[in-house]
Amino acid sequence: MNEEKIKHKGPFAEFWHRLKKNKLSLVGLGILVFFIIIAIFADRIAPYGYAEQHLDKTFLLPCKEFLLGTDNLGRDIFSRIVYGSRVSLKIGFISILLAITAGGVLGCISGFYGGVAETIIMRIMDMMMAIPNVLMAIVIASVLGTGVSNLIIAIGISSIPSFARIVRASILSIRDLEYVEAARLSCCSDFRIISKHILPNIMAPVIVQATLSLGLAILSASGLSFLGLGVQAPIPEWGAMLAAGRSYMSSYWHLVVFPGCAIVLVVLGVNMFGDGLRDALDPRMKG
Amino acid sequence: MNNSVNEKQLIIEDLKIDYKTDDQTVHAVTGLSISMEKGECLGLVGETGAGKTTTALAILRLLPKPQGRILSGSIIFNGIDLQAIGDAAMREIRGKCISMIFQDPMTSLNPILPVGEQISEVIRLHEKCSKKKAMEKAVQMMEMVGIPGDRSDEYPHQFSGGMKQRIVIAIALACSPELLIADEPTTALDVTIQAQILEMMRNLKRDMGTSTILITHDLGVVAEMCDHVAIVYAGCIMEYGTLADIYKNPLHPYTIGLFGSIPDLNSDVNRLKPIPGMVPDPAKLPPGCPFENRCDRKKEICKNVKPELKTIDGIHSVRCHCLEENV
Amino acid sequence: MTRYILKRLLMLIPVIIGVVFIVFTIERLSPNDPIRSVLGDMASQEEVDAMRNEMGLNDPFFVQFFNYAKGIVTKFDFGVSYVDRQPVVEMIKNRFPITLELAIFSTILAGLLGIPLGIISAVKQYSLLDNVCSVLALVFLAIPEFWLALMLIIVFSLHLKVLPASGWYGIRYMILPIIATGTGCVAGIMRTTRSNMLEVIRQDYIRTARAKGLKENVIIYKHALRNALIPVITLMGLQFGKELGGVFVIETIFAIPGIGKMLVDACSIKNIPVVQGGVIFIAVAFGIVNLIVDIVYGYIDPRIFASYKRKAKKR
């Protein structure tokens, strides 16, 4: 009897295998990792400090001394972009983490317990979603003031509704499955049920949403900084650099081209990786 | 099988079909041959994955592209080689000469078009008549399958499962096709509705003289409807014959196993009698007889050499090495 | 059908009230004195106090809210600007049509480009065109609108000198802003159209249509597209709404006198009544756009419509 061994890959190995096959997503991951490394080792990579001025060498085009040229205060654009990755990634990751935590808790409560709590929470989420993202961030920024922390709070808060909805939807789809019923009857406290049974199942859509929101968060951060409502000088945020360079762009295009390219690259990397993640986690969703 | 080629309506000769995916190649049909005469009802019986639906889709050239590929074999309908004709000619045949009913009525109808429109569409296409005439005929078809004609502007979701399947049948028969392929037409329906639909199909067959290929895994349905039966396993025919041949004198171990696994109402049983073992993985088919790993009378040759389909008596034929001695 | 519309309108009202309340509350949470910020550091304390009284800022919170709400409901009075005492309603009335034009044209452009590209990508899946479009879409989704605007200005206004970089006085002035706003949406619409089409093409009823012998064109346009477009219409409505809320940067860059610019200017100097009025107005507009999208959705997808008809019959 020829018994063929059935090769059984665990779920994680399956996922990794699918992810590896998608070349675009690997490129995206590579870009993301690249920027993370730059952000962490900014001090070693950047040849100059981000606030270091060379008033005799302003508006220089890219050259050997200053890889991407200098701005209106003679600061090295390359160094500022490198340090800027730290700023953008920090804002992006922290605000999304905030949103996941708060949105996750809210989604869990409304999905698991339902009833009045669910109605109230979801109505509030509706109201928050009725105000477009950027607008919400602007309003919060106008109250709290500018600066990195306030920017993180603003973007974090405006991202909460999407996560709350996704978590709630996922919970609703498995709450009534039989094994959850069984767990409820047989043993566990609610907390245990949630953490052990439900959380693993909602990871996938949450992670997908996280990458989507991360890209949006970085775009929002640069947009708000551009408007002057976010990061303040001299902190090198890419959007703020664009705003500063705008006044001079008729003569010195390099002030606005390079920081913009950086934004595009990071968000592109995040999006490509996010797409790949989504396809790998649920091949049925593949377009 | 002794008649001349010209009298047969459908001849499929040694059909081989593969599905190619990123990870593997699935051998769905592995040398299937059948033939049918006009007005006949042929039952294709087999488990899920045996290749029955694939064969049906291949006849109409509806295999999913790019995964499905016909490797070899021919499909001749009324003397026309269905694989050789152009796309336009094939489209002429679909819906007009050969029609197909699919398994799940819940998803077979377009949710945003009224049902009357979905029936009249095929009439307008093949009979080239005016919209008004086509709709009149569509209403007639609806009445014929037992649905009030004044519901023709309602949407599919407003009908029950059984009624949806009737509409699907109405669409399939609207242009009076010569051959109807019915892929598990009643599997998704309740038993009582099943009986109604089968009765309706029997009457239509009698009134319109349509040949039918009935694909199913339900031996009871076959007994009610079919003249000839072909038992399909792992992509090829294991046994073929008239209804009486198969039901009164099953010869292939798989066929015997199928009948044996049906519980007998009259006797007291403690356990059901399934056929031991599992269907072979269609991506990794063995070189010999595909049923070898579950067979209780196998010989050495069964592992290495795939048996041919041999005629035993009349049109009753079996694909088994162990049979010439027993007959 | 009217029942459906009424029900949605009813659901909109508490949301609007909630938005007004949230915005009102947030603005008053500010630790800094807005009047001080508007009048500047040179103004005396008496001037600040006088204006605070005039604007009712010394009243208790709920009195303020009540007066404000009353003003809106009875007289459409959103208060007056701290800066020049111009009624906020007037400001909005002058600027909203401009923003509306920008948003509408951008969305139309995005749809005209995005939907056909999405259909072609889906029908010719895995082809070169499909792959190129998908990658381009990803790239465009990553481009910030304001950066695209700056690049467009550099190329077309500064170097080629063919299009103006600011103002809103005619069609020539509209071209660059519309391109800048619409391009991001094209990517989103293309991707959604593509994935919806792909999903629809896989459905059983498409196979039924093929088995009828219909031509591929007919199958795509009559059977597949209508089903696939339903969510796309919704998406376009949402995009339009999003653009209404997201035109700030574009209006700022191109110096377009719309609501976005008004809001941004007001925010930075803490001109609260203008901020409130602007935000509320945009939120309401957003809500109404969503409502219209839902109604259109109900018209296109007979299933939704019919479920309301049936409920009506039961009574």
* Burial category of B72 from C-beta neighbours within 10 Å (exposed 0-12, middle 13-18, buried 19 and up): exposed
Kindly report, residue by residue over A230-254, the tens digit of the pLDDT.
Answer: 777 788 889 888 888 888 888 888 8
Beta pairing, strands B236-242 & B316-318: antiparallel
User: What value, to the nearest 5°, has the Cα angle with vertex B142 and ends B140 and B143?
Assistant: 65
Contacts of A133 in chain C (CB under 8 A): 242, 245-246
Residue window 50-69, chain A: list those with CB within 8 Å of chain C. Answer: none
Instruction: Tell me the average pLDDT across C46-68.
Output: 77
CA A155 to chain CA centroid, Å, is: 10
- Across the interface, which of B94, B102, B107 has its CB nearest the CB of C213? B94
Q: Measuring CA to CA, which residue among C150, B116, C216 is closest to residue A248?
A: C150
CA–centroid distance for A226 within its chain: 18
Q: With an 8 Å Cβ cutoff, are C213 and B91 in contact?
A: yes
Q: Report yes or no: B215 and B183 within 8 Å, Cβ to Cβ.
A: yes
CB-based contact A4 B284, cutoff 8 Å: yes
Helical H segments across chain B, by residue range: 52-59, 87-93, 105-108, 115-127, 131-144, 161-173, 191-208, 219-225, 243-248, 253-260, 300-304, 323-326
Residues of B in contact with C207 (CB under 8 A): 62, 102, 108
Q: What is the mean pLDDT of each run of 10 residues along chain A (287 residues)?
A: 45 71 85 92 85 85 84 87 91 93 88 80 79 72 76 88 85 70 68 68 81 89 84 84 87 87 93 84 50
Q: Do A2 and B22 touch (CB under 8 A)?
A: no
Q: Which amino acid is at C185?
A: C
| Residue at A206: amino acid letter | V
Phi, psi of B303 (to 5 degrees): -75, -30
Residue B13 gets which letter from DSSP?
E
Q: What pLDDT is stored for residue A11 in this prediction?
A: 64
Give B273 to chain A, closest Cα distance, Å: 22
pLDDT of residue C52: 77
Q: Which residue of A has its CA nearest to C153?
A: A250
Give pLDDT tens digits for A124-159: 887 777 666 777 777 777 677 777 888 888 889 888
CA nearest C108: which of C189, C228, C221, C192? C189
* Pick from A135, A228, A246: CB nearest C268: A228
pLDDT digits (tens, 9 = 90+) for C141-162: 888 888 998 888 888 888 888 8
Contact list in B for residue C208 (CB cut-off 8 A) is 102, 108-110, 168, 171
Tokens describing residue A246? 């705008």
Query: Is residue C191 exposed (0-12), middle (13-18) or buried (19+ Cβ within 10 Å)?
Result: buried
Cα nearest neighbour of B156 on chain C: C303
Going by C-beta distance under 8 Å and a sequence separation of 6 or more, which residues neighbour residue C124? Answer: C130
Picking from A132, A228, A287, the nearest residue to C242 by CB comes out as A132
Q: Do A2 and B286 count as a contact with CB atoms less than 8 A apart?
A: yes
Residues of C in contact with A250 (CB under 8 A): 154, 158
Question: How close A73 comes to chain C (CA, Å)?
Answer: 21
Instruction: Tell me the residue range of the domain where A182 lies.
Output: 2-285
When pLDDT is averaged across residues C38-60 and rounded to a whole number, the result is: 76
Give A44's Cβ-side CA count (13 Å radius). 4
Instruction: List subunits contacting chain C, requiring 3 or more Cβ pairs under 8 Å.
Output: A, B
Which of C30, C150, C198 is nearest residue A143 as measured by Cβ atoms? C30
Interface contact B22-A21, CB threshold 8 A: yes
Test the B interface: residue of A3, A4, A20 with most B CBs within 10 Å: A4
Residues of A in contact with B22 (CB under 8 A): 21
Q: What domains lie within chain C, and their CATH numbers?
A: 92-273+291-314 (1.10.3720.10)
Q: Rounded to an integer, what distance in angstroms lies between the CA atom of residue B94 and that of residue B57?
A: 11
Distance from CA of A93 to the nearest CA of C (A): 17
- Nearest chain B residue to C214 by CA: give it: B91
For chain A, the average pLDDT equals: 81
Q: Note whether C138 contacts A272, CB cutoff 8 Å.
A: yes
Q: What is the CATH number of the domain that holds A73?
A: 1.10.3720.10
Cα separation, A103 vs A160, in Å, equals: 5
> In this complex, which chains have at least 3 CB pairs below 8 Å with chain A?
B, C
Report residue B3's pLDDT band, with 50, 70 and 90 as the boundaries. Answer: very low
Element (H, E) at B114: none
> Which of A135, A253, A270 has its CB closest to that of C282?
A135
Give the chain C residue whose CA is nearest to the CA of B59.
Answer: C211
Any C CB within 8 A of B95 CB? yes
Phi-psi region of B103 (alpha: psi -120 to 50; beta: other; left: phi over 0): alpha
Cis, peptide link before residue B66, omega less than 30° from 0: yes
For C241-292, the pLDDT digits (tens) are 777 766 788 888 888 888 888 887 887 777 778 888 888 888 778 778 877 8
| Residue from the list B281, B284, B293 with its beta carbon closest to the beta carbon of A1 | B293
**B284 touching A (Cβ < 8 Å):** yes
What confidence score (pLDDT) does residue B242 get?
Answer: 93
How far is residue A269 CA from its own chain's centroid?
Answer: 11
- The pLDDT, as a whole number, for residue B212 is 92
Provide the pLDDT for residue B275.
80
Count the domains in chain A.
1
CA–CA separation, C228 and B128 (whole Å):
29
Beta bridge partners of B181: B100, B213
Residue B118 scores a pLDDT above 90: yes
CA B142, CA A192: separation in Å to the nearest integer?
56
B229-281 pLDDT, tens digit each: 999 998 989 999 999 988 888 888 888 888 877 777 777 777 777 787 888 88
| B169 part of contact set with chain C, CB < 8 Å | no
**Contact yes or no for B44/B226 (Cβ under 8 A):** no
Instruction: List the single residue in C211, C212, C300 with the smallest CB-CB distance to B121.
Output: C212
pLDDT in tens, B195-239: 888 888 888 788 888 899 999 888 888 998 899 999 999 898 999
Asked whether the predicted pLDDT for residue C182 surpasses 60, the reply is yes
Q: Which residue of B has its CA nearest to A6?
A: B281
Work out the mean pLDDT of chain B and round it to a whole number.
86
* Token pair 């003679």 in the structure block, residue: A74
Pairing between β-strand B179-183 and β-strand B211-216 as defined by DSSP bridges: parallel
C124 at interface of B, judged by CB pairs closer than 8 A: no
Which pLDDT value is given to residue B5? 46
* Beta-carbon separation of B121 and C214 below 8 A: yes
- Residue B57: pLDDT band by 50, 70, 90 thresholds? very high
Subunits with at least 3 CB pairs below 8 A relative to chain B?
A: A, C
Q: What is the C-alpha separation between A27 and A33, in angstroms, rounded?
A: 10
